[in-house]
Structure formats: structure tokens, C-alpha cells
Chain A
Amino acid sequence: MPQAIMPPPSPGLSRKAAIVGIGETDYHTDYQAARSRAPGYEAPSVESLSLAAFERALADSGLSRADIDGLSVSFTFGGPPPMEMAALLEIEPGFAIANGNIMAGPLPVVCAAIAEGKARTVAMIFAVASRSIGKQFGGASDAMAEGMPASYYYFHPWGWSSQAAHWALMFSHYQATYNVREEDLAAVAMQVRRHASATPQAVMQTPMTSTDYMASRYIVRPLHLFDICLVNDGAVCLIVTTPERARDLPHAPVEVAGWGEAKIRNRKLDTMVRQRLRPQMQEAGGQALDMAGVALADIQLFEGYDASTIHLINQIEGFGFVEPGAGIDFCKDGGMAVDGRLPTNTGGGNLSGSYMQGWSQVANVVRQLRHEAGAQQVADARLAMTSLVQTDQAHPLIFARGEN
């Protein structure tokens, strides 16, 4: 199925669309149910998860099904084509697209479609049912899957694979470069867990001590289990519309102000391990800030792609919020807390909240910018950045609180 292509960042597309509805599945209770496998338990399907998220987002937006004239579907492991999903959701969109998967290109694509008048109000669905299909993120089973970066399969003969192994290489080099101890990373896992503990839908809410962290088993040394993101099922739905339409709706609109994109073109391992994707984050971050017409210092909260603890630190450093090598100390000093200089992953991120490929970070930003984040609310939040930085590409997004 052809996929939509992300529009280049352009000031002309800034704030031309706003998120007015969010819906997420029950990550915590769904995870518990999947773990306990009670008699009669049936793993959720992509369809059931999508429908649940859609119903919630629609109710949240205050709109009705008849108002939805666009549909965008994004799946990690596949799902029904757009018009089948439309029938399932009982909507009749004139604009319906398959739209990638990770929270990178899909939102810019929809913003551009709305700016061009292809649709007025679009339901964006993301769903993943990884656990139910027994997917393991490593090993030979995904060898040479189409579109998979070479680093995910090429080194099988040397017994090296998985996304986690990328971050482990990065951290072993980082340790030597900045004289960091293994237990220093505990501060990052504990900070994100503190955020999850205050977030009702987060998968992992039990408080974590540094002793717990050090006692957690290794997955890929030097990284522990608690350094690595969750794998869980779920869906996120975002309802996106024009700023004009957004003004009449119940919640403060959250405008999409900027985006950027930069990919590693060569020397992947060197760029990832030694440069830690800083060139890509600087390039893509600059694009997003320029498009939004704001400065990095204006960003009040950050939602990074915490596929691992070290990679979250890496993003805080790579975009320039702190100097290279200063990220772990920044975290230890409370810089990532709700009242810190850069509140980070306040909903528990991918480490403890939910692994929705960057989509749940966007939902969390919407709650923050609406000032509906409860105990986790960042004071007077008006401007936020999310970041989906994979092993070979950087995709920041900037969001601004609009007025209604």
C-alpha cells in the first residue's frame, strides 16, 4: 500500500491544524490482563483497540461522527486498509490514507492535508498489537524485513541484533567518554517511573529505587531491563481540525507549530554510537524551531522517545537542551521533573507509561497544553516539543497552546 510522504517543514504550514480530541486505550489494565492470561482472556485486536481509542477521542473532541471527513491509519504490524477501518468506525471520510506508523511523518501529512483543504477534520488512528502476535524485537525472525535498516539484520552472523543493542553500544561508548557508571542511569529510569506513578493509565506504576534498578536483570549489558522500553498493546486516536473549527470546541486547541526530519545517510554506526545522532537532531530540531518561529529556550516541556534511558538523555543533549555529557547530571538534579527546567516524559514515557511509537507522547503533550495533566501539570505550559529519534532518524514536533 503506498504511504503518504511527509511534507517538508515550512512556516506556511505552521499552526494550520490543531489537535482537538485525544483517545487512548487502557494501557495499564490491558497490560495486566495480558500478563495474567485469565481463563477466557482474548488478546485485543488492532480493530478493537482502534475503535476504543476512536470512541474516546471523538467524545473528548465534542464532535460527532458526521463531522469526521478524514481518516488516517498507522499501524506497527499492519492493520485494515483505511476504508475498512472507516466502515468499522462507522464514518464516511472523503479523505482516507494509510499513513506510516511511528509518530514522525503522519501528523505533518495530516496537517498539510487540512491546510490544502483535502479534509477539514481528520481522525488519526495508531494501533499496535505486538504482544498478542508474540512479536520479539530482535533475533533472526525479522531478517531483512522490508524497509528495515541494515543494522537490524546485517550483523546476525555475529549474534548482534535488536533495537536495545543499539542503545547498549551507545551507552558503553558514552560511559567511557564521560566516565559514567552503570548505576548513574538509574536516575533516569527512576525519574520516568516517578512520572508514571502519578499517571493512572501508565503500565508500570510501582515506585522504583536504585536498588530495584541494579537488581533488574540485564538484557544487553551494560543495559538492564529497566533501561529498556515496554512492549504493550494499545491504540491512540487524535482528532485534528482547522484552527477555526477548533475555536468552537470544548478544549483549548493544541496547534501543530513545527516539524523537522533528518536521517543518517552513511556511517550509521559511527553516527549513532560516537556522534549519538547529534547532527540529525541539530538539523531536524532547527527545522522545527524555524518553522514554528520559536527558540529552543522557549520550549517548556519535552516528550522524548525513551526507547532506552540513555537514549532519552541522548535526545536532551542532542537537541541542545543541555551540553553533551551533562544529561544524566541534569536528570539527577531534578531537571526532568515536573517542576524542573525541562519537564520530560511527564506521562511515564515508553519506559514506564506505554510504548505507542511516540503517539502517547503527543497525547500527553495535548493534556499538558490544555492544562489538564492533573498532578503532573507543568505550570502555564504553552509550548512543547516531542521527539521521535530512532536509530537512524530524528523527527521533532513542536506544539503550541491555541486559544478558543
Chain B
Amino acid sequence: MPERRPDRALGPGHNDFWQWCAASELRLQRCATCGELSWPVVATCEFCGSTDLAWEHMSGRGRVIAWTTFERDYYAGTLPIPWDTILVELAEGPLFLSNPKGFSWPDITIGMPVQVAFVDCEDSAGPFRLPVFERGQEAQGGD
């Protein structure tokens, strides 16, 4: 059974992101002009405005830098309360807002290593695969 989720933002660019997720690949847009990664999905580089963007495969490794757990239902019962969210700093740099998988508050700690995983979900546009994060391995020998 796919998990029911609130609706994604869809459209040009956004659809590409979700297509990569369907293939269990977390890909973000890297600018060929200035070299920066943009997230969320953009039409033009959020740093330099270039349209020369390519979907780069992320390692999926990261660490938690912030979290928040919803005790109030903002989604009319679609999601259970309490609802955990984490902010992950990807190894490549961008911060990625997501959910923990296999652990929950109060076991979320700042700095803990995590690794991307994909879960089957659906919203009003249909089924999709959502990138979330499991506990990861401590980095070996530093970054």
C-alpha cells in the first residue's frame, strides 16, 4: 500500500525530479555556468540565472542539521500526528527537507548521519516515490 501524501508541486522541471525519484535516484540541478546546485527545482539557476542546468546524481549521504515534529494536523488527517521532519545537509551541500525512516523523535539528533531511501507514495496526481532518510554510517576517515 503506498502512503498517502499531500500534493507535490508538479510541472516542467518538477516532473523530472520525480521521474528520477521513481528510478530511486536523488538528482538535483547543477548549473553548468556557475557550478552551484539549486533546490527546490528551479527554471533558472538560483545563483546566476543560467538555464544551463543538468540533473546530477546525489550520493544520498547526509547529516541532520535541524528537525521539527508537527503536533498539530495541518493536513486534515492525511498524515498521522506527531509527524517528524528533518532537515538534511546532503554531502554535496544543499539542505534537503525530508522525513526520517526507521527512527523518530526523540531519537533524532543534530549531526546524525543519514542515507536516502525511497518509499512508495501517492497523491492526487498518482503514485510516486518519495526520498526520505534512514540512519546512515558514520563517515570513514573524514570528508
Contacts and interface: CB of A to CB of B under 8 A. Distances in A.
A221 B69 contact: yes
Interface residues of A, number: 39
Given A140-B76, A269-B87, 14 more contacts: A136-B74, A140-B74, A157-B5, A157-B7, A157-B121, A157-B128, A157-B130, A159-B75, A170-B66, A173-B110, A220-B68, A266-B36, A267-B46, A273-B66
Nearest to A160: B85
Contact of A173 (B7, B66, B97, B99): B66
Interface string A124-161: 00000000000010111001100000100111111111
21 contacts: A138-B74, A139-B76, A143-B7, A156-B9, A156-B75, A157-B128, A157-B130, A158-B5, A158-B85, A158-B97, A158-B99, A159-B5, A160-B97, A165-B85, A173-B66, A218-B69, A218-B71, A221-B70, A221-B82, A265-B46, A274-B65
Interface in B107-129: 110-111, 121, 123, 128
Nearest to A144: B9
Contacts of A173: 65-66, 87, 110
A351 B94 CA distance: 32
B19 to A, nearest CB: 15
B68 A172 contact: yes
Interface residues of B, number: 40
Given A153-B9, A170-B66, A269 B75 contact: no
Interface of A: 136, 138-140, 143-144, 150, 153-162, 165, 168-170, 172-173, 175-176, 217-223, 265-267, 269-270, 273-274
A154 B82 CA distance: 20
A172 B110 contact: yes
